[in-house]
Amino acid sequence: MCNGKLKGLVVVMGIWRVIVLAGVIGVSSTLAGCANTPDKPTYAEITFRHLAPILLDVGEIRVENSYKSPLAAPNVEHELPVKIDATIRRWASDRLRAVGKADAYAVLTIKEASVIEKPLKTVKGLSGFFTNDQSERYDFKISAELKIVTINGAKGLVTVEANRTKTVPENITLNAREMMYFERTEVLLSDFNTQMEKNIQTYLSKFLK
């Protein structure tokens, strides 16, 4: 009878020890997981100071933003580590110079600076378990215009639209997604810079110094 009780006690103690040991392992695994969590990366500003300035025969340069982000899906431009509209302002600061008459001014207007997330069809079920499909597509877009107005009524106008698209796999990490955002923004602004400079040289040559 005593032996029976003793055996029962040993069994209970054995279960308790297993539970405690499992709990310790679980806590250790959690701490190890926290320790291995990668740091959130930081990103530099995208600048254009290395490029020659564009000298405009105006007394003032203004930058206006008429684009209002909805700050909700499917738009995700507000999640970018380096914002598109802010980088366009930086482009104007780095590249445009007012070196002319006070009776003329230039206005760079941001019409659109968006990124749209679109879900893609992926394989479901058992087959999907063994595949890593492209799950989202991101459409990056800039639309902007540069207008020059003089007091005597002369005007000049150029427009630019730049687009880039990128798909990502369904197992992409948060840091990898942010890196993709940054790299696509950098390429998009490079396209914008190239097109805008070409259009200024072609259609606003009489306003250049």
Residues 182 and 160 in one domain: yes
Residues 15 and 63 in one domain: no
Q: What number is the average pLDDT over the span 100-127?
A: 90
**Per-residue confidence (pLDDT) for residue 14, from 0 to 100:** 36
Residues 81 and 143 in one domain: yes
Counted domains in the chain = 2
The domain that contains 192 carries what CATH number?
A: 3.30.160
The alpha helices in 42-147, defined as continuous H runs, are 84-95, 125-129
Residues 150 and 187 in one domain: yes
Q: What number is the average pLDDT over the span 39-51?
A: 92
Residues 67 and 122 in one domain: yes
- Whether the CB-CB separation of 41 and 175 falls below 8 Å is answered with yes
Helix or strand (DSSP H, E) at 150: strand 134-150
**pLDDT tens track for 142-160:** 999 999 999 998 899 999 9
Residues 50 and 31 in one domain: no
Q: Which of 153, 74, 61, 154 is nearest to 114 (CA)?
A: 74
Residues 50 and 116 in one domain: yes
Residues 21 and 47 in one domain: no
- This prediction has a pTM of 0.79
- Whether the CB-CB separation of 173 and 135 falls below 8 Å is answered with no
Confidence of residue 129 (pLDDT cuts 50, 70, 90): low
Residues 160 and 108 in one domain: yes
Alpha-carbon span 71 to 79, nearest angstrom: 9
Alpha-carbon span 75 to 132, nearest angstrom: 24
The domain of 19 spans 1-37
